[in-house]
Amino acid sequence: MRLSHCHNCHDFRTLARRRLPGPIFNYIDGAADDEVTLRRNSESFERCDLVPNVLRGVESVDMSVTVMGQTLAMPVYCSPTALQRLFHHQGEHAVAAAASRFGTMFGVSSLGTVSLEAVRKAHAGPQVYQFYFHRDRGLNRAMMQRAKEAGVEVMMLTVDSITGGNRERDLRTGFSIPFKLTPAGMLQFAIKPMWAVNYFTHERFRLPQLEEHVDMGRGAMSIGRYFTEMLDPAMDWDDVAEMVRHWSGQFCLKGVMSVEDARRAVAIGCTGIVLSNHGGRQLDGSRAAFDQLAEIVDAVGDRIDVMIDGGIQRGTHVLKALSLGAKAVGVGRYYLYPLAAAGQAGVERALGQMRAEIERGMKLMGCTSVAQLSRENLRFR
Ligand code: FNR
């Protein structure tokens, strides 16, 4: 299978699986415990149907949205994800370039493999910086200061990961940073030599967002230990309120799932929330973000930008989320499989397909702008 044969997320996943060593593919593809939430994320979009209107004069459609103070040419952004250089040697540069080309936001993860500054320098477009809350408050402030200096537009604090999820696929393969592979895991690398050639002939693997502060790269600290030793499970709303004040710009919480927490996010001055269960990778059994969307939009949608991610793989999923009141949606694996399959060309092809699907879907729904999508166009089964 080649890139030109990839017409949807499923095709990209198949190609990524062929190209990546098993432990890396499973790190992307997998989720926590029994992966119930991972499955629910996709299923949630099938529990409601679109009700189109016809004969509305839809020659051209405008799918732009304004969210977190940024105008996006399409209502889909690339959610922050870790370790992208492991998936393809172009890493974050590929995703940032593709996002910029499609006029949308890209979230650089604090576990990213290209620095915030390098992404800012090389690519136009609004930049999101996703970070975690550390026990060391000085470190939190230093990371925010660095983001300010780098010109980051949106700070995104991930609040659903105060401890690492139980990713059993990774336990089985031995996937960790630094690598500590099981014999079966090592064999999986041996049978994908092209991946190894690309990986070792390009820039060295680094975690530049953290290396300045933590001795990660030389094997002193694994990502598992980073989560358990450095992140602060005692973090509470007062801590976040202080960060929001300190940042004094667009600040959003990623991983909010309850109405109560959404109200608290408003109360402490956040400008956005992302309803998310981290792609099913944290609390297995947690509800799909799409299923929580209506009640959270009803409670706070007029005071804060509500976004969602999890399981979005089609333009029609995006239309359903926007119809319920989301301002924009994030995708993770949707761009990671194409990244692994073909780098920047893969991510651009996937975003192009998403844009075409949204445009076609809006026309078939009888809408010329996102504002015309409403709950009138949705029925739950
Ligand atoms: C993630 N996600 C994530 N989130 C975050 O806040 N910081 C991170 O570093 C990562 N890293 C990460 C790695 C990989 C491989 C995946 C698949 C996901 C979660 C991500 O931002 C998003 O919430 C989910 O990916 C959304 O679900 P879908 O689109 O993958 O179904």
Q: Is 81 in the pocket of ligand 1 (CB under 6 A)?
A: yes
Catalytic pick among 88, 93, 278, 317: 278
What pLDDT, on the 0 to 100 scale, is given for residue 182? 83
Q: DSSP string covering 295-332, please?
A: HHHHHHTTTSEEEEESS--SHHHHHHHHHHT-SEEEES
Q: Is 165 in the pocket of ligand 1 (CB under 6 A)?
A: no
Q: Is 231 in the pocket of ligand 1 (CB under 6 A)?
A: no
- Name the pLDDT band for 51 (thresholds 50, 70, 90): very high
What are the contacts of 90-94 at 24+ separation with CB within 8 A?
90/339, 90/343, 90/344, 92/119, 93/118, 93/119, 93/122, 93/123, 93/344, 94/339, 94/343, 94/344, 94/346, 94/347
CATH topology (fold) of 3-366: TIM Barrel (3.20.20)
From the CA of 87, give the closest atom in ligand 1.
Answer: 15
* Test site for ligand 1: of 116, 278, 290, 312, most ligand atoms within 8 A of the Cβ: 278
Q: Is 109 in the pocket of ligand 1 (CB under 6 A)?
A: yes
How far is ligand 1, taken at its centre, from the CA of residue 313, in Å?
Answer: 14
- Name the pLDDT band for 27 (thresholds 50, 70, 90): very high
**Contact by Cβ (8 Å): 357, 340:** no
Determine the longest span between alpha carbons in the chain, in angstroms.
Answer: 64
Q: Is 41 in the pocket of ligand 1 (CB under 6 A)?
A: yes
| Sequence-distant (≥ 6) Cβ neighbours of residue 82 within 8 angstroms | 109, 111, 112, 223
Structure tokens at 24: 């890396």
Q: Is 278 a catalytic residue?
A: yes
Q: DSSP string covering 76-130, please?
A: EEE---S-HHHH-TTHHHHHHHHHHHTT--EEEETT-SS-HHHHHHH--S-EEEE
How many residues are recorded in the chain? 381
How far is ligand 1, taken at its centre, from the CA of residue 51, in Å?
Answer: 31
pTM value > 0.90: yes
**Contact by Cβ (8 Å): 339, 95:** yes
Q: Domains of the chain: which residue ranges?
A: 3-366
pLDDT in tens, 75-103: 999 999 999 999 999 999 999 999 999 99
Compute the distance between CA of residue 378 and CA of residue 326 in angstroms, rounded to an integer: 14
In this structure, the residue with its CA closest to atom 15 of ligand 1 is 28
Compute the distance between CA of residue 208 and CA of residue 310 in angstroms, rounded to an integer: 27
Compute the distance between CA of residue 312 and CA of residue 331 in angstroms, rounded to an integer: 6
From the CA of 79, give the closest atom in ligand 1.
Answer: 21
**Contact by Cβ (8 Å): 108, 80:** yes
How far is ligand 1, taken at its centre, from the CA of residue 53, in Å?
Answer: 35
What pLDDT, on the 0 to 100 scale, is given for residue 210? 86
From the CA of 277, give the closest atom in ligand 1.
Answer: 23
Q: Is 223 in the pocket of ligand 1 (CB under 6 A)?
A: no
pLDDT in tens, 168-227: 999 999 888 887 888 888 888 889 988 988 888 888 888 898 887 777 655 556 777 788
- Name the pLDDT band for 301 (thresholds 50, 70, 90): very high
Three-class DSSP category at 59:
coil
Output the CA angle 41-262-35, nearest 5 degrees. 20
Q: The tokens 């400008």 sit on which residue?
A: 271
**Contact by Cβ (8 Å): 216, 206:** no
Q: Please state, in angstroms and as integers, the Cα–Cα distance from residue 369 to each residue in 177, 297, 362, following that order.
A: 44, 20, 8
**Contact by Cβ (8 Å): 278, 165:** yes
Compute the distance between CA of residue 194 and CA of residue 189 in angstroms, rounded to an integer: 10
Structure tokens at 89: 């040697």
Q: Is 30 in the pocket of ligand 1 (CB under 6 A)?
A: no
